[in-house]
DNA sequence: CCGGGCATTGGACGTTTGTCCAAGTTGATC
DNA sequence: GATCAACTTGGACAAACGTCCAATGCCCGG
């Protein structure tokens, strides 16, 4: 009978949920499978969360709050190319590599996001779902332009949303056709489209 | 006891499935709800399809084969603007309008596509899932360039994939943040990116 | 007009689902 | 060391699930 603080138990359950969804899809994310993955008894779930739907919502928030941001931050690592286009192309290509390496991971993100977005279809004005993503990507774009000695001709926040949208599109399209080369081409196309919106600083 | 040819019954069940998913999500697409929507007895489903999963797969194919193509074709209707950028911007904006008008519809498409793509994650090379979409959009792009007296500097087939990817991204991102103005801005950004790849013919 | 095969259907089957609860255990506080 | 709230847990519950089948109805080729 492991005694675990409530908050920590919630964290563990959310992590287990993400693992299950990556493996079995959101349709396979049942209460029993989640607690088995977390190595907990069934009752533990309803002690930590009101119901399964609440757990899924918490998992969706965790994805946009943490998991996804970590991946996005990783896109900028490494290369210190002086050319802005090269920088952006490299970042985009890195995302495609990440997608190919763990397709179930990205698929899980999308499944969770769509699932939670359905609940609020005819509902309140969206909360800050993708907000954190936009800000992380905006910081990356600003930093890239800086490193290359260029300046954006549009607000980075706006460009960040375009970029996030682009990454989502690359993901769904690749999941549909599994065409690696085409995904890279699409990634490069968007990278070039972005650099068209800069001027030498 | 309505006597219906097997093929027609399959069509009706697929249509009912899409209606149910648009309303209740893919999680709500159960055998009983689908046959109720189709006004059929429960047994009819397993006479027309091997199992529910097969019906969902058939529905996913129907979407990419018919439903979605009709929508895409509609993007070119109406405006006979001589300027290519205007044409593309108009088409993109029309898609955003369509998305706002029937969000559950586009959401259903994505849910079905992700669901069926999971089944083939570690599976055979993708079949022609998005293929039909690419060709329809490629035809639209060719026609638009023609009307505007311009020529693409890249194969239209490649640009068509970029466009489909873009539309998917616009959809998921809007579903996440419900930001109408931002969705339009993203749409216009991509329209401009496309026109950058033309030269006067 | 009648027989044989296809189509139809309601009900039943065993599983799995989410949720709940009462009994038991732990660890900090007085 | 007694007390009490917080935590844990296994089992029970009804409801919904996918699948199957025997019985019935219909239509058409002969």
Average pLDDT over residues A76-87: 75
CA–CA dist A180, A191 (Å, integer): 17
A23-43 tens-digit pLDDT: 999 999 999 999 999 999 999
Taking contacts as CB-CB distances below 8 angstroms, the residues of chain B near A158 are: 182, 185
CA–CA dist A155, A168 (Å, integer): 21
Can you give the distance from the CA of residue B43 to the C1' of nucleotide D22 in angstroms? 13
CB environment B114-147: b (16+ within 10 A), e (fewer): bbbbbebeeeeebeebbebbbebbbebbbebbeb
Given an 8 Å threshold on Cβ–Cβ distance, is A178 in contact with B103? Answer: no
More confident residue, B184 or B120: B184
Residue A85 neighbours by CB distance under 10 Å: 17
Angle between helices A84-101 and A180-195 (to 10 degrees): 150
Vertex B86, ends A177 and B175: CA angle to 5°? 45
Strand C nucleotides, any atom under 7 Å from protein beta carbons: they are 7-12, 16-22, 25-27
Task: For B2, list phi and psi in degrees, rounded to 5.
Answer: -70, 125
Please name the residue of chain B whose CA is at the shortest distance from the CA of residue A184. Answer: B162
Strand D nucleotides, any atom under 7 Å from protein beta carbons: they are 6-12, 16-22, 25-27
Residue A50 neighbours by CB distance under 10 Å: 8
Taking contacts as CB-CB distances below 8 angstroms, the residues of chain B near A186 are: 161-162, 165
Q: Report the nearest residue to nucleotide D27, CA vs C1'.
A: B3
Residue A60 pLDDT: 93
Residue A1 pLDDT: 65
Taking contacts as CB-CB distances below 8 angstroms, the residues of chain B near A175 are: 113-114, 117
Given an 8 Å threshold on Cβ–Cβ distance, is A176 in contact with B115? Answer: no
| Max CA separation in chain A (angstroms) | 63
Chain A: give the shortest CA distance to residue B143, in Å: 21
Instruction: Judge contact between B114 and B172, C-beta under 8 A.
Output: no
Taking contacts as CB-CB distances below 8 angstroms, the residues of chain B near A164 are: 173
Question: What letter does residue A126 receive in the DSSP assignment?
Answer: P
Can you give the distance from the CA of residue B47 to the C1' of nucleotide C13 in angstroms? 18
Residue A124 pLDDT: 61
Average pLDDT over residues A34-56: 96
Instruction: Judge contact between A82 and A147, C-beta under 8 A.
Output: yes
Nearest to A168 among B169, B185, B193 (CB): B169
Average pLDDT across chain A, whole number:
90
Residue B184 pLDDT: 96
CA–CA dist B56, B109 (Å, integer): 11
**Cα A24 off chain centre by:** 18
Confidence of residue B1 (pLDDT cuts 50, 70, 90): low
């640009």: which residue's tokens? B159
Which residues are within 8 A (CB) of A134 and not within 5 positions of it... i.e. 6 or more apart?
A157, A160, A161, A164
Can you give the distance from the CA of residue B62 to the C1' of nucleotide C4 in angstroms? 36
B88-119 tens-digit pLDDT: 999 899 999 999 999 999 999 999 999 999 98
For residue A125, is pLDDT > 60?
A: no
Q: Please, how many CA atoms are within 13 Å of residue A174, restricted to the half-sphere of its CB?
A: 27
Phi-psi region of B25 (alpha: psi -120 to 50; beta: other; left: phi over 0): left
A129-171 tens-digit pLDDT: 788 889 989 999 998 898 888 999 999 999 999 999 999 999 9
| Interface test mutation site (partner A, options B52, B159, B176, max chain A beta carbons within 10 A) | B176
Residue A120 pLDDT: 78
Which residues are within 8 A (CB) of A156 and not within 5 positions of it... i.e. 6 or more apart?
A138, A141, A142, A145
Taking contacts as CB-CB distances below 8 angstroms, the residues of chain B near A96 are: none
- How far, CA to CA in Å, does A73 sit from each of A132, A136, A162, B137? 12, 7, 17, 34
Instruction: Judge contact between B195 and B154, C-beta under 8 A.
Output: no
**Cα first-last separation, chain A:** 62
Residue A158 neighbours by CB distance under 10 Å: 17
Vertex B95, ends B16 and A190: CA angle to 5°? 120
Nearest to B129 among A113, A176, A196 (CB): A176
């Amino acid at each position: 009978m492991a005694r675990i603080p409530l908050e920590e138990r919630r964290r563990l359950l959310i992590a287990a949920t993400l693992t299950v969804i990556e493996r079995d899809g959101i349709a396979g994310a049942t209460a029993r499978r989640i607690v088995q993955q977390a190595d907990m008894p069934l009752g533990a779930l309803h002690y930590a969360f009101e119901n399964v739907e609440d757990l899924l919502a918490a998992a969706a928030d965790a994805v946009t709050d943490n998991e996804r941001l970590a991946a996005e931050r990783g896109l900028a690592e490494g290369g210190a190319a002086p050319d802005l286009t090269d920088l952006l192309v490299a970042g985009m290509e890195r995302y495609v590599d990440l997608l190919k390496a763990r397709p179930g991971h990205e698929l899980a993100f999308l499944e969770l996001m769509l699932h939670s977005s359905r609940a609020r279809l005819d509902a309140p004005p969206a909360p800050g779902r993708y907000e954190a993503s936009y800000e992380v990507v905006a910081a990356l774009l600003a930093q890239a332009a800086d490193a290359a000695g260029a300046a954006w001709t549009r607000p980075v926040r706006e460009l960040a949303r375009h970029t996030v949208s682009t990454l989502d599109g690359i993901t769904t399209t690749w999941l549909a056709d599994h065409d690696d080369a085409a995904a890279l081409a699409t990634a490069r196309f968007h990278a070039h489209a972005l650099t068209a919106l800069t001027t030498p600083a």
